[in-house]
Amino acid sequence: MEHSKVTPREAQRRRLPLEKHRLEDWIGKIYTSVCVVFLIAVIVSIVYFVTSKGVATFAVNGVSLTEFFFGTHWAPDAAEPSFGALPAITGSFLVTLLAALIASPLSIAAALFMTEIVPTFGKRILQPAIELLSGIPSVVYGFIGLTLIVPFLRDHVGGQGIGVGAGALVLSIMILPTITSVAADALASLPRGLREASYALGATRWQTIYRVVLPTVLPALLTGIVLGMARAFGEALAVQMVIGNAPYIPTSLLESASTLTSVITLGMGNTAMGSIQNNALWSMALVLMLMTFVFILIIRLLERRNRI
């Protein structure tokens, strides 16, 4: 037989490239897998550490869940400390919802403008403008809020300027780009035939947008809004700078309030690790983290609806 003449040395020489092959693939697989495992390890440890510290308030220090979630008095340093986080939780939800209410119509209009009305101008001017807007750091938005929005509100609307209204305005500018880009992507990916069919039936552009385009992309629009709300809910420094940080449930938009993030930002540096005051702040971080999961869950549900 022909191949029986191959000497062992020759056979090894022929096998060599294959060995190198295998080694290379092995290196690649190991390297990329290690990266992914690291990613998973990071998230597992974040969830573990934040949860274990956040639960300690209730498990170790014996603060009741009812007191934390429904108590309206936040005074961790007082002689008779109380840990009612309701004002901060209310504040977080309030500014988030208000910001979404202000930003959504603007964003959707911008997305419609970019895709349906003036695509060339939209792509050339509005798109880069919005990308830029999303790149501006949050402390700069906080600074703008402090030096532009707060004095404006104080002089023209009333109150001290700082407060829920200022916080919501700053946040709404911050989440504008998020909602706009998601909405614009969704609108741009609609099949052309959909619009053409509507025009062929004699519909005007607004009728097409209102009756055909918007209902079709509604889940995607909602996804964008939820993404924006997730960002607003977790934003810390910009809000902290303009909201006034008063530990009460606000009764008007011009009143000072506080959010979960602002309380954590201000309090974390002044408490000792492991103390009850510190653990209470970690419980707030746990609430923030759980809310992130809720937002992601909502987004996933919306995406599932979007697919069908």
Partner 1 sequence: MTTKTVNTKARTRARNADKIATVIIVALALSIVVILLGLLGFILFRGLGHINWDFLTSKPQTIREGGGIGPPLFNSLYLLVLTMIITIPLGLGGGIYMSEYAKPGKITAFIRLVVEVLSSFPSIVIGLFGLLVFVNTMGMGFSLLAGALALTIFNLPLMVRITEQAFSSVPREQKEAGLALGLSKWKIITSIMLPVAIPSLVTGTILAAGRVFGEAAALLFTSGMTTPPLNFSDWNPLHPRSPLNPLRPAETLATHIWKVNSEGLAPDAIQIAAGASAVLVIMVLIFNLLARWGGRTLYRYMTASKRMN
Contacts of partner 1 in 29-88 (CB under 8 A):
29, 31-36, 38-40, 42-43, 45-46, 49-50, 53
Torsion of CA 53, 56, 58, 61, to 10 degrees: -130
The least CB distance from residue 208 to partner 1, in Å, is: 9
CA distance 57 to 64: 8
Q: What 3-state DSSP class applies to 256? A: coil
Contact indicator for 306, 223 with CB cutoff of 8 Å: yes
Between 1 and 18, whose beta carbon lies closer to partner 1? Answer: 18
Helices (H), 235-275: 237-243, 260-268
139-178 binders of partner 1 (CB under 8 A): 139-140, 142-144, 146-148, 173, 176
The reply to whether 294 sits near partner 1 by the rule CB under 8 A is no
Choice from 6, 16, 27, 194 touching partner 1 (CB under 8 A): 27
Contact indicator for 81, 276 with CB cutoff of 8 Å: yes
Q: For residue 83, what are the β-bridge partners? A: 74
CA distance 68 to 271: 18
Choice from 136, 194, 197, 201 touching partner 1 (CB under 8 A): 136
Interaction mask 186-225, partner 1, x per CB under 8 A? -----------------xxxxx-xx---------------
The least CB distance from residue 78 to partner 1, in Å, is: 23
The reply to whether 270 sits near partner 1 by the rule CB under 8 A is no
